[in-house]
Structure 1
Amino acid sequence: MTQSWLGMDVGGSKIHIRIEDSAGQARMDAQWPTGRWGGESYAFKAARMAELIALAAGQAGLAAPPRAIGIGAHGCDTPDECTRMTALMAGHFPDSACQVVNDAALVALCASQPHAAGLIAGTGSVAAALGPEDHWLLAGGWGWLVGDEGGASGLVREGIRAVLTDWDRGRSDDPLAIALTRAFGADHLLDLPSQLLRQPVSVWSRHASVIFECLQAGSPLAAGVVDAAAESLAELIARLCRRGARIDCVVAAGGVIRHQPPLFDRLAARLRKHDPRLSLLLLACPPVMGGVALARRLVAPSLVRSVSRGA
């Protein structure tokens, strides 16, 4: 009987499931909206994931449950939370090896290196790496109100802070001040902070591209914001190292780090300054592939294939 391996990536907006056979060929690969998630009980979340796994297994035509199930779940932020969710999923699939980790860990699991860290700079920012007791350690991911430096929301927030500080110093002619005021449709740059409360972060964080456009136009304020963002992302990795994570390379994912080379280049330089041996790669596959790698590793580590070489 052909064995199968299932990977699942549960994000804030979508759930991605991929099932592979023993040869590494996809039996199915599909996505669904996450739906209700934040604030729901562990039992509710486990039932939702189990429902979709059963649906995916049916679509793949499996005659038996997957041999192993590797899940990266948004909101499983501590070892205790991951252990509890793993136990619930094992109850739904007693004949499958199961493990639940934070969804950020899937980025690291996509790398062929055993000591890779995952770094996401999308709307928000977070880093993940294996700690000394094989628990996944997280740094960052606090949300735009108090963190997410280096993510789109943090970049916009810090861009607004920079132009307001410049205003207090008697200046308002930096290209970033003009561009952000125009992007938000504000009457005056002093109205920018209130704009962050009038729309969802998923909407206004898209203005992060304005900062990079101003950087190319020679804005000193934009340059300072991007430099600080790179420093903050490098600091996430440094925190993981100080907590005992062994990190040989950093695998980066997320729309900001992928589509903004100036941030990638600055981050690479700061990582080398922290440790000359640290390399920075871009994730070259969907994070759900990390879930498949996790599933394979649960049963036989030798079956874990290289699924990302970076770009």
Structure 2
Amino acid sequence: MDDLIAALDIGGTKTQLILEQVGGGRVLDVTEPSLEWDAEPEPAAAKWIAERVRRHTPNGARIVSLAFGAQGINRSETGQNLERELAALGYATTAVNDASLIVAAAGFSQGIGVIAGTGAIAVGADADGRFLSSGGWGWVIGDEGSAAGLVREATRAALRANDEGRPDDGLLGHLLADFGVADAERLTRRVNDDPTVDNWAPHAPAVFAAAEAGSALADAVITDGARHLAELVRQLRNRGAVGSDVVVAGSVIVNQPRLLDAFRRSVAEHDQSASVHVLREPPVTGAVMLARSALTK
């Protein structure tokens, strides 16, 4: 019987599952939709995970260590409950928030992970290993520095300047073109009538394009978003998060140098000892490392 490890990255839209032999050979790497995923109630969530692992486990193989990061594990108790439920189903498990994977994926045993993609959140752990998080409030009231948050704040800034009678410095024009509307009033309706990530987040590149073209408003929105992301790091530090390494991931901060550079500057203002790293590996790599680490304990 082959002994395997299982590693999952369970996000809001998709789940990546990797199976590897204990000796290191890759058996499976598959991505599926995260349909109906919810970390709570834990018994149902554990069955959701176990069903996917079982479906892809080869006949005659045995999972000896399972690790995953999942959206919705925002309290240590939730992760611990999931570990117990999966143990009852036959899986020795390590469960963490999906953002926690990026620190391990970057090769660090401790530090702070910051995700700025569709949404925004920062996570870490204190000296006793207790999970800490900051941000992640959602695009309607928070997630500053994320794709959706930047579009929300850019729209507010452009509309405010328009109401004040100021000439467009390029931000409004970029937003109008990207949303495919003719004027500010129609932009207001287009944004408000569908206040969803699917409607807002895809237009983030227009904000960066406006900044590159010289829009001071767009640049200020991006800089402010970076400050908010750095503030998440400061908040976690103040609450006891350990580790001087800050690992960033997410489509926006990784692919937009203007946001990343502003984030680096803002972090340095709070903490000269912090070192910012960009994650180049898929986050699920962190789950692989956690699963392998558990074998040695």
Q: For the superposition of Structure 1 and Structure 2, which TM-score range results when normalised by the shorter chain?
A: over 0.9
Deviations 1:276-311 (A, max 9, x none): 22122111111111111111222326xxxxxxxxxx
Are the counterparts in 1 of residues 99 and 122 from structure 2 also a CA contact under 8 Å? yes
Q: SS of the residue aligned with 1:18?
A: strand
Q: Which residue of 2 aligns with 1:161?
A: 156
Deviations 1:170-196 (A, max 9, x none): 214120011112222234213434323
The correspondence for 2:61, drawn from 60, 63, 74, is: 63
Q: Aligned residue pairs: how many?
A: 296
The correspondence for 2:72, drawn from 71, 75, 93, is: 75
1:292-307 correspondence to structure 2 within 5 Å:
292-300=288-296
How much does 1:44 deviate? 2.4
Q: Which residue of 2 aligns with 1:117?
A: 112
Are the counterparts in 1 of residues 122 and 232 from structure 2 also a CA contact under 8 Å? yes
1:106-145 correspondence to structure 2 within 5 Å:
106-145=101-140
Q: Which residue of 1 aligns with 2:273?
A: 277
Are the counterparts in 2 of residues 73 and 103 from structure 1 also a CA contact under 8 Å? yes
* TM-score of the two chains, using structure 1 as the length reference: 0.89
**Counterpart check, 1:194 vs 2:192:** no
Measure, in 2, the Cα distance between the counterparts of 1:7 and 1:29. 10
* TM-score of the two chains, using structure 2 as the length reference: 0.93
Q: SS of the residue aligned with 2:133?
A: strand
Measure, in 2, the Cα distance between the counterparts of 1:39 and 1:295. 19
Are the counterparts in 1 of residues 15 and 33 from structure 2 also a CA contact under 8 Å? yes
**Counterpart check, 1:180 vs 2:175:** yes
Worse-matched range after superposition: 25-34 or 139-148: 25-34
Measure, in 2, the Cα distance between the counterparts of 1:284 and 1:259. 11
Deviations 1:245-285 (A, max 9, x none): 01311111111011101111111122122222212211111
The two structures, once aligned, show a CA RMSD in angstroms of 1.8
**Counterpart check, 1:217 vs 2:210:** no
Distance 1:173 1:112, change over 3 A: same
Q: Which residue of 1 aligns with 2:27?
A: 27
Are the counterparts in 2 of residues 113 and 248 from structure 1 also a CA contact under 8 Å? no
**Counterpart check, 1:36 vs 2:49:** no
Are the counterparts in 2 of residues 20 and 27 from structure 1 also a CA contact under 8 Å? yes
Measure, in 2, the Cα distance between the counterparts of 1:192 and 1:138. 34
Q: Which residue of 1 aligns with 2:235?
A: 239
Q: Which residue of 2 aligns with 1:100?
A: 95
Q: Which residue of 2 aligns with 1:47?
A: 47
Unaligned runs of 5+ in 2: none
How much does 1:62 deviate? 5.1
Percent sequence identity is 35
Measure, in 2, the Cα distance between the counterparts of 1:289 and 1:69. 13
How much does 1:40 deviate? 6.5
